[in-house]
């Protein structure tokens, strides 16, 4: 990346982030000819290759040791946006090994210090093994990152049902079929002016058809724009 990074963090955190992004990209290149994993595409390929097994189970097994981290520039944009909004309550749908979560936590630490408001990053991961590894990376970052994160392990459609604050920002970095059910779970807690960010809405548009139709239906109260990051990054502002 040629432009300077906006991220304010100690050098060991920046180095860790750089290494984790690289590992994630290397892994994705081995799984997908496109160089990026789109859940609907990979599940479709598995359906073709192994018609006798359940493609969703196969997909979950394949993803158990994979980062599929949000791209570095999208993480940096999200960090900037949180700072611009003064956002302190964030929900991350899909945490994996916790790369994007580190950016969210760094940003929330700053906005809390600047505004004096309380807040937290609610991180969600279905796979306990992945959640354990994420916690190890957060420990390497140190308490500034660790103390901002409320990690909820299990199916997010259950773990996000209760105990949500007024949410400023929801990051949908989850398998596409889960995106709309996740949004509907968090929707009652979104504050007016909250932002929903959804990854890969250009390349993954087919998998996100139901989510995009919901976001773009005027009666649901979202103002939408597809940001021109690689594969698309949807920014939806909630104005009910």
Ligand X SMILES: C[S@@+](CC[C@H](N)C(=O)[O-])C[C@H]1O[C@@H](n2cnc3c(N)ncnc32)[C@H](O)[C@@H]1O
Positions that interact with ligand X (CB under 6 A)? 63, 67-70, 94-100, 124-127, 130, 155-156, 173-175, 178
Shortest Cβ distance from residue 218 to ligand X (Å)? 29
How many Å apart are CA 29 and CA 27, to the nearest integer? 5
Shortest Cβ distance from residue 94 to ligand X (Å)? 3
Shortest Cβ distance from residue 233 to ligand X (Å)? 12
Shortest Cβ distance from residue 23 to ligand X (Å)? 11
Q: Which is nearer to ligand X, 61 or 239 (CB)?
A: 61
At 233, list the tokens: 């990054």
Shortest Cβ distance from residue 69 to ligand X (Å)? 4
- Cα dihedral sign for 13, 18, 21, 23? negative
Q: Which is nearer to ligand X, 132 or 155 (CB)?
A: 155
Q: Which is nearer to ligand X, 25 or 221 (CB)?
A: 25
Q: Which is nearer to ligand X, 171 or 190 (CB)?
A: 171
The neighbour count for residue 49, using CB atoms within 10 Å, is 10
Q: Which is nearer to ligand X, 43 or 68 (CB)?
A: 68
């Amino acid at each position: 990346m040629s432009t300077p990074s906006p991220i304010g963090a100690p050098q060991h955190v920046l180095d860790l982030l750089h290494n984790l992004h690289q590992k994630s990209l290397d892994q994705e290149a081995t799984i997908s000819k496109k160089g990026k994993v789109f859940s609907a595409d990979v599940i479709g390929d598995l359906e073709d290759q192994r018609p006798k097994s359940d493609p969703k189970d196969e997909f979950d097994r394949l993803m158990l040791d994979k980062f599929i981290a949000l791209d570095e520039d999208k993480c940096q944009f999200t960090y900037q946006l949180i700072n611009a909004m003064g956002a302190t309550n964030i929900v991350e749908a899909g945490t994996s090994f916790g790369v994007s979560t580190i950016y969210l936590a760094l940003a929330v630490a700053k906005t809390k210090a600047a505004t004096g408001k309380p807040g937290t990053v609610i991180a969600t991961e279905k796979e306990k093994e992945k959640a354990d590894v994420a916690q190890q990376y957060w420990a390497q970052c140190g308490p500034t990152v660790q103390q901002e994160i409320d990690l909820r392990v299990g199916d997010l459609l259950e773990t996000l049902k209760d105990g949500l604050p007024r949410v400023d920002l929801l990051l949908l970095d989850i398998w596409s079929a889960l995106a709309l059910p996740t949004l509907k779970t968090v929707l009652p807690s979104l504050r007016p002016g909250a932002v929903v960010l959804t990854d890969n809405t250009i390349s993954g548009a087919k998998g996100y058809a139901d989510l995009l139709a919901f976001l773009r239906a005027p009666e649901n109260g979202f103002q939408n724009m597809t940001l021109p990051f690689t594969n698309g990054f949807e920014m939806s502002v909630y104005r009910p």
